[in-house]
Homo-oligomer: A and B are copies of this chain.
Amino acid sequence: MKLEEAIKSVNFKNETHKAGLNILYTAWWLKTSMSRELKDFGLTHEQYNVLRILKGKSPEEMCVKDIAGRMIEKSSNVPRIIDRLVIKKLVKRSTDLTDKRHTVMSLTQAGLTILDLSTKKINGLFDTLIEVGDTDAAKLNELLELVRANET
């Protein structure tokens, strides 16, 4: 669906403003699609992100700060997301003995299993949903980097 239909608006200040709204809408659209896939596994979008990050270092443990620095949405409250994952026994949490301020996390076997299954689903979603060629995808990445070129 075109952006104009999606938000029932036709008057954009200029192409750049439209691009801003288009980025926001497309991200919402993508997140919604991902959440639908993850629902079968009882995972939220953010819980999946944390599991993916832990997998990246597995079997090494990671502290909250390291995880937070790798999240797509930086303002997430990582300790509380982990709370839910610990309750579901997908993540193990303990205190780092070399620096007791650190709480360290690692995937459990159940966490690894559910991550593998859900990753297959998400990868499949990306492949079938986003059907842009490699060249277009690369161009898109280039333009998004350009959008973010000015630091905040």
Contact call B70/A7, Cβ cutoff below 8 A? yes
Given A23-B26, A26-B23, A141-B22; A1-B33 close (CB under 8 Å): no
Whether B141 and A139, one on each chain, are in contact in the complex, defined by CB atoms closer than 8 angstroms, is no
Q: Is A17 in the interface zone, CB < 8 Å from B? A: yes
Smallest CB–CB gap between A143 and chain B, Å? 4
How many chain A residues touch B (CB < 8 A): the figure is 61
Q: Are B14 and A134 in contact (CB under 8 A)?
A: yes
Contact with B along A35-49 (1 / 0, CB 8 A): 010000000000000
The residue that A141 contacts in the complex, of B7, B15, B72, B138, with Cβ under 8 A, is B15
Q: Which of A124-146 contact B (CB under 8 A)?
A: 126-132, 134, 136-141, 143-146
Determine if B22 and A24 form an interchain contact, defined as CB atoms under 8 angstroms apart.
no
Check A71 for interface membership: any CB of B closer than 8 A. yes
Say yes or no: B129 contacts A146, CB within 8 Å. no
Interface residues, chain A, with chain B CB atoms under 8 Å away: 1-3, 7-9, 13-33, 36, 56, 69-75, 123, 126-132, 134, 136-141, 143-152
Sampled A-B contacts (18; CB under 8 Å): A2-B145, A7-B70, A7-B71, A7-B72, A8-B70, A9-B70, A19-B137, A19-B141, A23-B26, A23-B144, A24-B30, A26-B147, A28-B75, A33-B152, A36-B152, A129-B152, A132-B146, A140-B144
